[in-house]
Structure 1
Amino acid sequence: MSKNYIFLVLLLSGVFTVAQDKKEEAPKPIPPAKSFVTYYQGTFGGKSIPYTATAKETYLTNMKGDSVASFWSVSYVKKTDGNSAKRSVTFIFNGGPGSASVWLHMGLFGPQLVQVDTDAKKDDGAAPYTLKKNENGLLDLTDMVFIDPVGTGYSRVIGKGKEKDYWGLMEDAKSVSQFIRTWITQNKRWMSPKYLAGESFGTTRAAEVAKQLEGNGQNMALNGLILISQALDYAGSTSTHHNVTSYITYLPSMAATAWYHKKAGQGKTLEAFVEECRDFTYNQYVPALYKGNGINTAERNEIAEKLAYFTGLKKNYILQSDLRVLMPRFQKQLLYDKGLTIGRLDGRFMGDEYDDVADRPTLGDPASYQIGAAYTAALNHYYASVLKVEMDRPYLTSNSKIGQKWRWRTVPDESYWEPTPVNTAGSLGEAMRRNTAMKVLVASGYYDLITPFFDAEYTFARNGIVKDRVKMTYYEGGHMMYTHQPDLIKLSSDIREFLTQN
């Protein structure tokens, strides 16, 4: 056998193998989108409301018409006589990036809610957990659509879709806007009042989505935004060295949390103590921070004494911190005498960690791991037993892979871009000035140590936002203030008022 013949056989064999590999790498066939429809009767706002629950996949397409992403959503729509055009619809999502809508679904807006300890004294333990009817539900006022962006819940890329086309600030807003327009079109709701409700990064998303919905040849003006634990300007919600803004915005939340744990402000109401801290922050702390090493010893001692007064930390520790206490250190130091670490999402929560002298929490966030199992179990049970959902993959309440690959860039790759703190507050300001009917509700928890209430005030006093159409509300809870039963009732009432005001 000649060498040339052997070479030809090997070459053809290689070509055949490559062809096989390419065939194996081809996109998998796209199965039909799944949909699960059930019917219910419930009491909302004192009224008996018949409604349809639709849990389904919606396929988004690219410019060529190819299906590239599957968006999972659960819609609750009141049964009407066929005239639903004037009934409002609210699109709801959580944050992350990388979080599904489970928290707002099973914690605040859904027909059934999971019960966790309202006083943040006990963790959720192990199953079974308690599901209860949402006595403060809003289905009498608005239809609701819970959205899980790509990579969360059951949502995923399909066909020729790529994760990078969805895992980014602008990419995410574009895809969510596309889903909303698709849902509105399929359900014939273009004439309905429309609202967005987001939590945490979900508020970052909401501001950008509001802007994007006003363009692309299908102008959709929103009636309002419900921003729960807002995070529009990350300069005020990122506690890192040398970020002067964060030292300012976090201080009143530290004071509120110290008051809650009886480490500061005793003998005063929470509101009065917080107002006192606001005044100190703007009028004394801000000038001291910007003077830096330019302040003299007497002024430095005076500021340190005031910070100790408001935070409950020792004056010497504050001086050693150069008058700048990072939030993770506050979490470890506030209850140092008890050997406890407080939560970040909610400063009411406490965890008993092995390393008490670490400069930051070592087990994670007590406000997260003490309720996460209950929410996950409740959502999966509710889907399977109530909504009759049967899927071939797990529901991802969160996806850390998204955060690792997330693209914060706001311009195309070929354009110059210099990284800055994330800020979609300007997008909200632009949208409000183009749409003079848009109003905004901002809900903040006093004990939220990740998106502080003072940051909301700082952000909404700037960025071109129309102050007269913004309502600020406050709650004695944390990031998910609705885990605190009195706040659940108050927040639901505040949203009800927001949806019904002219």
Structure 2
Amino acid sequence: MALLMLGPIVIAPVHATGRSGILPPESRRQHDVTVNGQRLTVVAALERYQAQGRSGRPLGSVYLTSLTAYSDDSRRPVIFAFNGGPGSSSAYLNLGMMGLRRVQVSGPEARGPTGTIVDNHDTPLDVADIVLIDPIGTGFSRLASRGAAGETYSAVGDAAYIAGVIRQWLKRHHREAAPTFLAGESYGAQRVASILRVLSCDGERHCTPLRVEGAILISQSIEIVNTLQRPGNVTGIAAGFPTIAALAWYHRKVDRHDRSVDGVVADAFAFSSTYLSALYRANSLSVDERNAIAGKLAAFTGLPPAYFQKHLSITKDEYRHEAFRATGQVLGTYDARYLGPVRGAGDPSTKALDTAIAAKLSRVLNESVGVPVRYSYRVYNDALDGRWTYAPVATPFSSYDYAGELAAALRINPALKVLVAGGLYDTAASVGADAFLLNQWSVPATQTLSVHYPAGHMFYLDDASRVDFARAIRCFVGSRSIAACQAAAQGRGVPPGIGPLPSNGQPDLAP
């Protein structure tokens, strides 16, 4: 069964039109573009690399799209970016945030068309070259043989071969000395944690460490065991509660009392520790205690107190179905600002986007890198949902310590910077999960930039959020001061970064 929080999940495999059995040749085109007000000459290239397993066996062909600005500086930063799933290609980050062109998406209040392709003036290409990686089984990347699937479609094997591709790209382009950044969305953030370990040569002999300057975690789900919406997972329920409060505010299920969504989220964070304690105690609560908690939950969610008299727990997914049950509507998973009929096909927040990307991608790839439209690009491979191995030993009780890998990377490289970004209305990941993750680290605040935006899982599809996120990336890549980046973000209208809860239980919303 698919883990629904790990990436843009579609109902069926989405393909561009064309032949799927023949791999395209490498190709490249040169472009003169305007980015962040600057004129740049950029070479966009489709490149192919051979992936090898840990024993040296061939795993398959990996295609990536590299965007490099003409520059004599071999130390120009490079951002390696990938999506999640784990069956997702890089199409979402490419057409949403990082590429030369982007897909225009109408907001939840607008009824205009989604799918217009426009120039992307917000890509951070003015401060770094960008390499968009399509893992094997996605995009044009394909397995070498069926026998290689077991190692390839696993958290361990995936991290190892992608780390190898990153090393190959740097060597081919003579960029070994360039500051390197990893950017991963959703499961891609977990991929970042694993790749960091591999590149650091943790526990490996005859390995040359590759220093990574920074990790960009987009709508992350690294603490997956604590954020899955399983019955009885009280930590995950409490972590998801600020998102529910934000949605109740957005959909006017509660009286706003002139409060901003940031203020509501801050109040929900402050209540979450009390809520977690109540969930833990459950049936041992007194009648008065239970009534008090139910009243607070009703005030935050807009659901009647009677709903919580039966059971105090409510997950993000349950709220998506309960908020508008009376009208037969459900909130979107990846952007819960969107509403759709309960019996409708697809997620109301992504089905228009998936259709638009599938329809436009061949043309965009042809125009940007010159790949002929007859070749088939796999946007999402849902066959991987049931084949992926998340732990070295696949059992129902196994776990994979992605957060531990990230913590180990921070110990090995104490100067590693981390940018955590998410959407307030995302029920696949959540701002609470971000705070929970940050609370588990002993990483100084001077190394962590935390920003959140009034949008969903792919928050960069919102115009204002994309502009602000691009600004945060530019500062993160180009500045030595995380504090300066946080202050700049606050001063430019970015919603406050929701960082760790200090010991007094109050949310830390100030830079």
TM-score range, shorter chain: 0.7 to 0.9
Q: TM-score under structure 2 normalisation?
A: 0.85
Q: Which amino acid aligns with 2:351?
A: Y
Deviations 1:39-80 (A, max 9, x none): 111112222111111112212245786643100100001112
Q: From 102, 115, 135, give the equivalent of 1:113.
A: 102
User: Which residue of 1 is the match for residue 329 of structure 2?
Assistant: 340
Q: Tell me which residue corresponds to 1:48.
A: 39
Post-superposition CA distance 1:304-326 (Å, at most 9, x none)? 11111111112112222x10113
Contact 2:80 2:131 in 1 (8 A): yes
What is the CA distance between 1:437 and its match in structure 2? 2.1
Partners in 2 of 1:423 and 1:456 — Cα distance? Answer: 16
Structure 2 residues not aligned, in runs of 5+: 1-20, 481-511
1:390 matched to 2:372: yes
Aligned 8 A contact 1:426 1:463 in 2: no
Task: State the distance in 2 between where 1:379 and 1:400 align.
Answer: 18
- Structure 1-normalised TM-score? 0.86
Residue 133 (str. 1) matches residue 123 (str. 2): no
Instruction: State whether structure 2 residue 385 is matched by structure 1 residue 399.
Output: no
Given residue 322 of structure 2, which amino acid in structure 1 is its aligned partner? Q
User: Which of 250, 253, 260 is residue 269 of structure 1 equivalent to?
Assistant: 260
1:424 maps to which of 402, 405, 410: 402
Q: 2:172 aligns with which of 186, 193, 196?
A: 186
1:257 aligns with 2:247: yes
Q: Structure 1, residues 145-167: CA drift from partner, whole Å, max 9, x if none?
A: 00010111111112586111211
Equivalent positions of 1:31-70 (< 5 A) are: 34-62=25-53, 67-70=58-61
Q: Counterpart of 2:385 in 1: which secondary structure?
A: helix
Q: Which residue of 1 aligns with 2:307?
A: 317
Distance in 1 of aligned mates of 2:458 and 2:383: 23
Asked if residue 462 in structure 1 is aligned to residue 462 in structure 2, the reply is no
CA contact (8 A) 1:60 1:67 kept: yes
Cα pair distance change 1:198/1:324, threshold 3 Å: same
Whole-angstrom CA distance in 2 between matches of 1:295 and 1:203: 38
Residue 295 of structure 1: aligned partner: 285
CA contact (8 A) 1:99 1:152 kept: yes
Identical-pair percentage: 29
Asked whether 1:410 is paired with 2:416, we answer: no
* Counterpart residue type for residue 153 of structure 1: G
Structure 2 match to 1:101: 90
SS in 2 for 1:34: coil
Amino acid at match of 2:407: G
Tell me the secondary structure at the aligned position of residue 449 of structure 1. coil
Matched position secondary structure for 2:106: coil
1:263 Cα deviation from its structure 2 partner: 0.7
Q: What secondary structure, in the 3-state scheme, does the structure 1 residue paired with 2:468 have?
A: helix
Residue equivalent to 1:349: 338
What residue number does 2:489 align with? none
Match of 1:91 among 69, 76, 80: 80
Three-state SS of the structure 2 residue aligned to 1:230 is coil
Deviations 1:309-344 (A, max 9, x none): 111112112222x10113322111112233321011
Q: Which protein shows a greater Rg?
A: 1
Distance 1:306 1:31 in 2: 59
Alignment partner of 1:147 out of 120, 124, 133? 133
CA deviation after TM superposition for structure 1 residue 253, in Å:
0.2
Match of 1:71 among 62, 74, 99: 62
Say if 1:426 and 1:464, in contact at 8 Å, map to a contact too: no
Kindly tell me: are residues 234 and 61 of structure 1, through their superposed partners in 2, closer, same or farther at Cα, counting changes over 3 Å? closer
Question: Is 2:53–2:157's contact at 8 Å kept on the other side of the alignment?
Answer: no
Name stretches of at least 5 consecutive residues in structure 1 with no aligned partner.
Answer: 1-29, 355-361
Tell me, what secondary structure is at the counterpart of 1:212? helix
Task: After TM superposition, list the pairs within 5 Å mapping 1:215-254 onto structure 2.
Answer: 215=201, 216=204, 217-254=207-244
Give the Cα–Cα distance (whole angstroms) in 2 for the partners of residues 91 and 120 of structure 1.
34
Q: Secondary structure at the match of 2:267?
A: helix
Residues 255 and 264, structure 1, Cα contact 8 Å, conserved in 2: no
Amino acid at match of 2:371: V
Please give the secondary structure, in 2, of the residue aligned with 1:42: strand
Q: Distance in 2 between matches of 1:263 and 1:194?
A: 45
Q: Contact 1:38 / 1:53 at 8 angstroms: preserved in 2? A: yes
Q: CA deviation at 1:466?
A: 4.2
Shift of 1:123: 7.8
Amino acid at match of 1:244: V
In structure 2, how many angstroms separate the alpha carbons of the residues matched to 1:131 and 1:137? 14
Q: Relative to structure 1, is the Cα distance of residues 428 and 61 closer, same or farther in structure 2, using a 3 angstrom cutoff?
A: closer
Question: SS at 2:379's partner residue?
Answer: coil
In structure 2, the partner of 1:169 is 155
CA RMSD of aligned residues (A): 2.1
Distance 1:279 1:62, change over 3 A: closer
Measured after TM superposition, the shift of residue 391 of structure 1 is: 6.9
Question: In the aligned structure 1, how far is the partner of 2:237 from the partner of 2:302?
Answer: 16
Cα distance in 1 between the residues matched to 2:318 and 2:111: 23
- 460-469 or 168-177, which deviates more: 460-469
Cα distance, 1:467 vs structure 2: 3.8
Pick closer, same or farther for the CA change 1:418–1:392 going to 2, 3 Å: same
Cα distance per residue 1:422-449 (max 9 Å; x no partner) = 4411111111121122101101111011
Cα separation, 1, equivalents of 2:65 and 2:335: 28
The aligned counterpart of 1:436 is 414
From 299, 306, 318, the equivalent of 2:296 is 306
Cα drift, residue 229 of structure 1:
0.6
Return closer, same or farther for 1:169/1:465 CA change in 2, 3 Å cut-off.
farther
Q: Is the 8 A contact 1:95 1:202 kept in 2?
A: yes
Once residues 166 and 147 of structure 2 are traced to their aligned partners in structure 1, the CA distance between those partners, rounded to angstroms, is 19
Tell me the distance in 2 between the aligned counterparts of 1:383 and 1:152.
15
